[in-house]
Structure 1
Amino acid sequence: MRIPTAKRLETIEEYYFSKKLREVRERVASGKPVLNMAIGSPDLNPPTEVIQAMQDAVLAEGTHKYQSYQGIPELRKAISDFYNAKYKVSLNPENEILPLMGSKEGIMHISLAYLNEGDEVLVPNPGYPTYTAVANLIGAKPVFYDLIENNNWEPDFHSLSKMDLSKVKVMWVNYPNMPTGASGSISLFKKLIDFAKKHSILLVNDNPYSFVLNDNPISILSIDGAKDVALELNSLSKTFNMAGWRVGMVSGSLDKIEAILKVKSNMDSGMFLGIQKGAVAALQIKDAWYDKMNLIYNERRELIWQLASLLGGSYDKKAKGMFVWVKLRDGINAVEFIDNILYQNDIFIAPGDIFGSNGKGYIRFSLCITKENIKEAIDRLKNKEVQLTNDLTMINQS
């Protein structure tokens, strides 16, 4: 017997990577040596101190009980100290920080706390698809604002000011940006804060890539008056190779954190204590950790640049974060292009189209793949360079 699903499911599709990875797994199961260069899931281990803290906590008395919805005080204090040390931002650990089971759940919690059915949400194009999916799921309307290469992948405030913003309640921003790698700046954050205040919009910066190949980490909360209108999401997933641990946080003023807590406390029963203890250890790690990780990512990025050049693509060497955003030759359909490479060369790359219409003609590489596998990808494409050139010509003409 088929039970009808909720109408909200008609507004979304299964996440691209969820669907595409099934196809990739089927190819691997059939014996194909697929190299996955699309997913931003760190392949390196967390710091040893993190693993040790987790192991120690597992055997401690009370570890396996329900935990506080707000996280243990030690974790909130560690987040506060981290923000002060790394961003020069002062946060009250008692009421301006809320640990999350990954920042992705924070997108849903914030949306449920602030959006009514019919409210509008400003979503970057290109941008993280979850912003759009969550808006649709709760009955809000995503309104896309353009990010384009010629404007350094930053909002065009002149164009935004001409829009009808009367129904807009929330604006999502993401710097350092995914997928483009645009770094953002103090100047940009000041403009965003001014814009949000002028139009009474809640501004949310999604900030998980601050410390990956970026010498100048910035928090939007470092701007004077930011807490009046802004929240910031952050995560341990990328910085400390803890994606599967699901540890994030949202920071902002007391009233905003209280509103989000009302939602969160009805959605889960607290984060496992062992994970919280590991998170504390991560947040207290020495600077040598960041240097080591960035050395590895820099070596990988240089090889990805070689691969991108082999494909005839162009890229910004000043971009930040865990991905390389590559512009293809004019007229090439990125979805067809990456499928062709997957089927011909067993290399999986993300097409820019999945991040929005302004991602058309781009592809995205992840740095979460070993140097050896990147070199293998380069060799595969070099060995089939004639076939690849012919395929590119056919795609360009289609």
Structure 2
Amino acid sequence: MAGFPIEVATRIKTLPPYLFAAIDKMKQEALARGVDIINLGIGDPDLPTPTPIIDSLAQAAKNPKHHQYPSYEGMLSFRKAVADWYKRRFNVALDPADEVLTLIGSKEGIGHVHLAFIDPGDIVLVPSPGYPVYPVGTSFCGGVSHIMPLTKANGFLPDLNAIPKDVAKKAKLMWLNSPNNPTSVIMSKDYFKRVVEFAQENQVIVCHDAAYSEIYYDGKRPVSFLEVDGAKDVGVEFHSLSKTYNMTGWRIGFAVGNKNVLAGLGRVKSQLDSGVFEAVQAAGITALGLDDSVTDELRKIYQERRDTLVPGLKKLGLEVDPPPAAFYIWVTVPKGYTSASFTAHLLEKAGIVTTPGNGFGAPGEGYIRMTVCTTKERLAEAVERIKKAGF
């Protein structure tokens, strides 16, 4: 019996291939050829989740009370742990009842928040290069992304003054990300103050993605957007346990800040998901209660890796600055290459997977992104392979 053509929606047809899925395909093809791959492509911590968190999950999973549907907003005990962590870490006071919302990883909330506030034709201010979910979430709602280019000349920060006044007045939502993926740049408290003024003047909701705030170097801790006076009046901050505690596969995160924005996101979630497994939330409580020695050790390891890879790349003649935070290295491609061709060159000639900068948006052309989510020995080997391959 003959079938009939299955047509996907226009929103799917217009999507670019998901960046990291495309990278994984390239990697799998190289592996099939027998290549010993050094994967510097995806920011997925290679270190294990700390043992106390795993033990907490194991214990909580045996408790039958956690086996039923969780609440979509998350257990109050988990939201209180988030509020306590924010007070400890940033000296920001949050009401766990309505200023904290549990997420199935921050990516879920970042994607869904558009559904609460963006109608067809609405403008969203999107940094580029940036996390692909910002513009994709916008397009799923029929919104229009107005690109804020992140350029070296402007310190890889969105230039608020460059946003046309008519665009700023029409914009409904603005995305920010500090420490930034892929550039690793950190936004200062003074910069966030200017963002709050901009948001108040133009009545724009600010959504700040702070997933990498706990991966920083040289003891220089990034600030929270919510540390600035008035920030809670204009926006929210998205956070995750993924990078901080090596829990990318666990899928637990949270959004904090403006209770009206969180209520809108919460209404979407109540229709589309059923919350986070309560045993995972119990493990999240344990994670957020760990002392700094755990995260200090992780930062020490990442810094040793950064300080292996960056000087090695510089010795080869590549233009690269040591990142102040996150686990990404933003490398200028050599003359004669594009982002895509240099990525392909490193894979084919050196067996190294990297990410082309233009995969994060057109302003990322001319760069590639590397991660330090592998051992320093493998990073040193990567430098040697690039040296042998040449460019």
TM-score above 0.5, yes or no: yes
Residue 378 of structure 1 pairs with residue 378 of structure 2 = no
Question: CA shift at 1:185, angstroms?
Answer: 0.5
Deviates more, 1:34-43 or 1:369-378: 369-378
In structure 2, the partner of 1:140 is 143
Work out whether residues 23 and 41 of structure 2, in 8 Å CA contact, stay in contact via their aligned partners in 1.
no
Q: CA RMSD in A?
A: 1.4
Which residue type is aligned with residue 190 of structure 2?
S
Alignment of 1:17-28 (within 5 A): 17-28=20-31
DSSP-derived class of the 1:164 partner: helix
**Identity percentage of aligned residues:** 37
Q: Give me the whole-angstrom Cα distance separating, in 1, the residues matched to 2:384 and 2:128.
A: 34
Q: Give me the whole-angstrom Cα distance separating, in 2, the residues matched to 1:171 and 1:364.
A: 24
Residue 329 of structure 1 pairs with residue 334 of structure 2 = yes
Q: Structure 1-normalised TM-score?
A: 0.94
1:103 to 102, 106, 117: 106
DSSP-derived class of the 1:113 partner: helix
2:272 to 226, 251, 267: 267
2:13 to 10, 15, 33: 10
Residue 357 of structure 1 pairs with residue 362 of structure 2 = yes
In structure 1, the partner of 2:115 is 112
Question: CA shift at 1:367, angstroms?
Answer: 1.1
In structure 1, the partner of 2:239 is 234
In structure 2, the partner of 1:197 is 200
Question: CA shift at 1:23, angstroms?
Answer: 2.4
Q: Give me the whole-angstrom Cα distance separating, in 2, the residues matched to 1:227 and 1:173.
A: 15
In structure 2, the partner of 1:395 is none
Work out whether residues 322 and 368 of structure 1, in 8 Å CA contact, stay in contact via their aligned partners in 2.
yes
1:87 to 86, 90, 96: 90
Q: Deviations over 1:242-267 (max 9, x none)?
A: 00111111111222211111000111
Q: Give me the whole-angstrom Cα distance separating, in 1, the residues matched to 2:89 and 2:278.
A: 25
Which residue type is aligned with residue 27 of structure 1?
A
Q: Give me the whole-angstrom Cα distance separating, in 2, the residues matched to 1:309 and 1:29.
A: 32
Structure 2 residue runs of 5 or longer lacking an equivalent are: none
Q: Give me the whole-angstrom Cα distance separating, in 1, the residues matched to 2:215 and 2:59.
A: 29
Work out whether residues 11 and 137 of structure 1, in 8 Å CA contact, stay in contact via their aligned partners in 2.
no
Deviates more, 1:13-22 or 1:175-184: 13-22
DSSP-derived class of the 2:329 partner: strand
Residue 315 of structure 1 pairs with residue 320 of structure 2 = yes
DSSP-derived class of the 2:36 partner: coil
DSSP-derived class of the 1:233 partner: strand
In structure 1, the partner of 2:186 is 183
Q: Give me the whole-angstrom Cα distance separating, in 1, the residues matched to 2:16 and 2:52.
A: 40
DSSP-derived class of the 1:231 partner: strand
Query: Number of paired residues?
Result: 386
Question: CA shift at 1:318, angstroms?
Answer: 4.9
Which residue type is aligned with residue 337 of structure 1?
F
Q: Give me the whole-angstrom Cα distance separating, in 2, the residues matched to 1:103 and 1:224.
A: 24
Question: CA shift at 1:307, angstroms?
Answer: 3.8
DSSP-derived class of the 1:306 partner: helix
Residue 208 of structure 1 pairs with residue 211 of structure 2 = yes
Q: Give me the whole-angstrom Cα distance separating, in 1, the residues matched to 2:156 and 2:307.
A: 22
Alignment of 1:269-284 (within 5 A): 269-284=274-289
Q: Give me the whole-angstrom Cα distance separating, in 1, the residues matched to 2:165 and 2:232.
A: 26
User: Where does structure 1 differ by over 4 angstroms across 4 or more consecutive aligned residues?
Assistant: none
1:249 to 233, 237, 254: 254
1:159 to 155, 158, 162: 162
Work out whether residues 180 and 319 of structure 1, in 8 Å CA contact, stay in contact via their aligned partners in 2.
no
DSSP-derived class of the 2:102 partner: strand
Q: Give me the whole-angstrom Cα distance separating, in 1, the residues matched to 2:9 and 2:349.
A: 40
Question: CA shift at 1:190, angstroms?
Answer: 0.3
In structure 2, the partner of 1:303 is 308
Question: CA shift at 1:383, angstroms?
Answer: 3.3
2:126 to 106, 123, 127: 123
Deviates more, 1:329-338 or 1:69-78: 329-338
Q: Deviations over 1:125-170 (max 9, x none)?
A: 1111111111111110111012211221112222125453332100
Deviates more, 1:374-383 or 1:120-129: 374-383
Question: CA shift at 1:315, angstroms?
Answer: 2.1
**Change over 3 Å in CA distance of 1:108–1:382 after alignment to 2:** closer
Work out whether residues 316 and 387 of structure 2, in 8 Å CA contact, stay in contact via their aligned partners in 1.
no
DSSP-derived class of the 1:211 partner: coil
Q: Structure 2-normalised TM-score?
A: 0.95
Q: Give me the whole-angstrom Cα distance separating, in 2, the residues matched to 1:347 and 1:213.
A: 25
Work out whether residues 180 and 324 of structure 1, in 8 Å CA contact, stay in contact via their aligned partners in 2.
yes
DSSP-derived class of the 1:265 partner: helix
Structure 1 residue runs of 5 or longer lacking an equivalent are: 393-398
Work out whether residues 67 and 271 of structure 1, in 8 Å CA contact, stay in contact via their aligned partners in 2.
yes
Deviates more, 1:102-111 or 1:75-84: 102-111
Question: CA shift at 1:345, angstroms?
Answer: 1.2
DSSP-derived class of the 2:325 partner: coil
Which residue type is aligned with residue 364 of structure 1?
R
